[in-house]
Amino acid sequence: MKKNYILLFSLVISLSLLIFSCTDNDDEEQYIPVSPVVVDLTQVPYPKLSDYKFFEGDMKNQTPALNVLPYEPASSLFTDYAHKKRFVWMPIGTKASYNGDGNVLDLPVGSVLIKTFYYDNVQNVTPVGATRIIETRIMIRKTSGWIFAEYVWNAEQTEAFLDLDGSFTEISWLEDGIPKSTNYRIPNEVQCIICHKSEEMVNGSEVIKHIPIGIKPQNLNFNYNYNGVTKNQLTKWIEQGYLNNNFSLPTAENTTVNYNDASKSVELRARSYVDINCAHCHQNERHCDYRPMRYAFSETANNLTNMGVCVNTQDMQDFSPSLSKIVSPANINRSMMYHRLNTENEAIRMPLHGRTIIHTEGINLIKDWINSLQPCP
């Protein structure tokens, strides 16, 4: 009887959670609402996405359950125009710690990062114009480190199943009214690792650690709309009990911007763009640290060399000699960076993974940025 009462109460609480304060409780007993999320570290990854109980109601609506907190980075990685919904969940009583504005928050064991990839206005589904969720990627923090789980949604959009082998799926959609299509890549586990890793040589052998990318204070330091309540995401995480309150919010200089925000400077937008799209490989101890670019936002302030400006291209095989600089000021035709962002050729394109079609808005931003640069000394 009491059990049912708690259940009923939980339901009421969760429906009204974001409107009423949960601590305002005038019953004689104190009820702490319980998150339905189940993450048994000895059993994950589960075979089905629904097994985690991250979502309430119809799973395709992606309505987060209690303590499943939505978040968003200021700039997001371009993945063939897929839309994304991101959530974080941590076990009760645990919290993340701050480790620098430009470094990933250190999340406690048991934490989960959830990212769902979907398209609106899809043309090759019934009914035409519907939303299609393709995949939900999950990272789970175990004692041994982060693991990856990949859930591929069924055609009915009722469930997603664990599949780390990778696959392709054709999708066509309208992007601002313009028809686009791609053979969308759902990644294999080793593809997850390329970007989500740090690597260092210890006593002559390579030690690889899996890491998240987006959850850096520099990326979260802006207001997010939590069902009508607008709040700085870092502040929200602290209030939620998800983050230690032992740091100051990043300064404006240390905060990335939305690269689509035309009110910001081209330089800031370009730096934010390469940070989220390129820096996971092009910085020290990352997949492609053997190239000279250092695209992390914290390394590109007043540092055009780290942005590749006037820096020689290293491998010129099969490229036009005109591309001998990574970035040639005011000349996109002589900039290898522009050339590699502006192609669908698999052996040339950048990034190598996650993109198969050209990001028109991104390439226009990079063009504006290159055209704004002063000649090489």
Which residues in this chain contact another protein in the complex, by CB under 8 A?
Answer: 165-166, 168, 185, 188, 190-191, 193-194, 199, 201, 204-206, 287-291, 314-318, 320-322, 324, 331, 334, 345-347, 352, 375-376
Nearer to another protein, 107 or 195 (CB): 195
Nearer to another protein, 130 or 190 (CB): 190
Nearer to another protein, 42 or 203 (CB): 203
CA distance 25 to 9: 11
Nearer to another protein, 120 or 165 (CB): 165
Give the Cβ contact number of residue 14 at 10 Å.
Answer: 17
CA distance 363 to 341: 7
Indicate the DSSP class of residue 327.
B
| Nearest distance from C-beta of residue 265 to another protein, angstroms | 25
- CA 203 from centroid of its chain's CA atoms: 33
CA distance 220 to 259: 14
* Residue 197 three-state SS: strand
| Nearest distance from C-beta of residue 316 to another protein, angstroms | 7
Nearer to another protein, 19 or 202 (CB): 202
User: In sequence order, what are the residues at sequence separation of 6 or more whose Cβ sits closer than 8 angstroms to the Cβ of residue 52?
Assistant: 37, 38, 39, 44, 46, 112, 138
| Nearest distance from C-beta of residue 84 to another protein, angstroms | 22
| Nearest distance from C-beta of residue 201 to another protein, angstroms | 6
At residue 258, φ and ψ (nearest 5 deg) are -75, 120
Q: What is the CA radius of gyration of the chain?
A: 22
Q: Which of 297, 250, 301, 254 is nearest to 277 (CA)?
A: 297
Q: What angle do CA 106, 152, 139 make, to 5 degrees?
A: 10
Nearer to another protein, 61 or 333 (CB): 333
Nearer to another protein, 62 or 182 (CB): 182
| Nearest distance from C-beta of residue 304 to another protein, angstroms | 15
| Nearest distance from C-beta of residue 192 to another protein, angstroms | 10
| Nearest distance from C-beta of residue 122 to another protein, angstroms | 23
What does the CA dihedral 17, 21, 22, 23 come to, rounded to 10 degrees?
Answer: 170
Strand partners, 307: none
| Nearest distance from C-beta of residue 194 to another protein, angstroms | 5
| Nearest distance from C-beta of residue 199 to another protein, angstroms | 6
Nearer to another protein, 126 or 317 (CB): 317
Mark 106-144 as b/e (b = at least 16 C-beta within 10 Å): bbeebbbbbbbbbbebbbebeeeeeebbbbbbbbbbeee
Strands 69-71 and 160-162: unpaired
Element (H, E) at 208: strand 205-210
Nearer to another protein, 109 or 288 (CB): 288
